[in-house]
């Protein structure tokens, strides 16, 4: 299940990705636009800064910008950073594999086989869906709403 922290991270990235200027955005403005508690957002942005997803600038006119192009930031990367492995079970994880404590035989385990398929399908979708895709979807949705009004 996607944590609230991961949702906040993605929403903050949407705000940064929709920003058209070159100037950094202050954390208070990101928090307000993304509807994220500021103190929590500080922790999230620090984690993303360590991975190069965002950059920060200090000073009176400081704030945050995207660290890479939206095309180069996948949902999978952000979710793994914030929530950990995508797999539902440690035996199905690529990044944090370990045999389950109660496993009799990992090679023949029917549960693991299904969970590997789930992990692969989830990973395929999240690896190919980027911040750029999400921003384009948001823009198209906003356009449709304006036409409907």
pLDDT at residue 32 tops 80? yes
21 to 3, 16, 25, 80, 116: CA distances (angstroms): 30, 10, 9, 29, 42
pLDDT at residue 70 tops 90? yes
**What is the value of pTM for the model shown?**
0.87
Give long-range contacts, CB 8 A cutoff, 24+ apart: 14-17.
Answer: 14/131, 14/134, 14/135, 14/138, 16/54, 16/64, 16/65, 16/66, 17/66, 17/70, 17/131, 17/132, 17/134, 17/135
Per-residue pLDDT tens over the stretch 72-118: 999 999 999 999 998 888 888 888 887 877 877 778 788 888 999 99
Choose between 126 and 95: higher pLDDT.
Answer: 126
Per-residue pLDDT tens over the stretch 8-21: 999 999 999 999 77
Cβ–Cβ under 8 Å, residues 91 and 106? yes
Over residues 113-141, the mean pLDDT reads: 92
* Mean pLDDT over each residue of the chain, to the nearest integer: 90
């Amino acid at each position: 299940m996607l944590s609230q922290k991961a949702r906040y991270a993605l929403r903050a990235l949407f705000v940064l990705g929709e920003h058209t200027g070159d100037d950094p955005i202050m954390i208070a403005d990101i928090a307000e636009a993304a509807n994220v508690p500021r103190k929590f957002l500080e922790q999230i942005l620090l984690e993303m800064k360590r991975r190069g997803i965002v950059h920060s600038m200090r000073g009176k006119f400081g704030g945050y910008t995207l660290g890479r192009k939206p095309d180069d930031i996948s949902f999978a990367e952000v979710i793994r950073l914030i929530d950990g492995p995508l797999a539902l079970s440690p035996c199905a994880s690529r990044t944090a594999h370990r045999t389950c404590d109660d496993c009799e035989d990992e090679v023949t385990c029917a549960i693991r086989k299904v969970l590997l398929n789930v992990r692969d399908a989830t990973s395929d979708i999240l690896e190919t869906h980027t911040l750029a895709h999400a921003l384009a979807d948001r823009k198209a949705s906003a356009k449709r709403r304006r036409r409907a009004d």
